[in-house]
Amino acid sequence: MPAPPIAAVAFDAFGTLFDVHAVTACADSMFPGRGAALSQLWRSKQIEYTFLRTLSQRYRNFEVVTAEALHFAAHALHLPLDDAGAERLMAQYACLAPFPENGAALRALRELGIPLAILSNGTPAMIAACVASAGFDGLFEHILSVDTVQQFKTTDAAYQLAPDAFQVPPSNILFVSANGWDAAGATWFGFTTFWINRSGQPRECLGVEPSMEGTRLTEVVDFVRARHPADRP
């Protein structure tokens, strides 16, 4: 069977459009020589808590989960994080730097006539702040937050937000994520998927493969160009 045409693209936000480890410099200024370790453990625990809260049906929004993960990471690394320090680090999530090529790639997709969305675990306020800080205002038709369904990815309810918004089947939506677990879950759901594997990680051993793998968002543009309907507007 021919591959389904791509009618829309949905992006994960944190780790894909915006660099979650942009907090490292701030963390290192607070805890010299420990910023990278704090950032890595903070991110790992943040994701773990989204899984745990969804599995246990104990939803709290992503801002709360992020703060909880930060406090765990600081305690685990024996770092003296006070309330002011926690607020300072949490504020970094309002201005996470985008990866360098992302702005040009997003604008190239818009020039193809492709509608774009963000589908994120983040709260609407967290996503909007990062979009504004990066100068990405006006590039997305939809900002989709799992707050709507109070279940984090990789649940079907979270991913269903994109087909409902675009009014097209999942296979006609390209879901783009830099998180291997997210690309796997989105593939299971039925999206066409593109895994941005920036650091050369092995594929998840889950018996599922992304539709395409690359290292930069610019490669997504080439993939979409080849799969977008010829009669695009």
Q: Which residues are catalytic?
A: 12
H or E element at residue 42: helix 35-55
134 in Cβ contact with 146 (< 8 Å): no
* Alpha carbon distance 18, 129 (integer Å): 11
Q: Measure the CA–CA gap between 127 and 14, rounded to whole angstroms.
A: 9
Q: Which residues pair with 14 in a beta bridge?
A: 18
Q: With CA atoms as reference, report the closest residue to 37 among 66, 72, 89, 73.
A: 73
**Element at 212 (helix H, strand E):** strand 212-214
Sign of CA dihedral 11, 14, 16, 22: positive
DSSP string, 152-179: -TTSHHHHTHHHHHHTS-GGGEEEEES-
Give 57: exposed, middle or buried? Use CB within 10 Å, 0-12, 13-18, 19+: exposed
End-to-end CA distance of the chain: 25
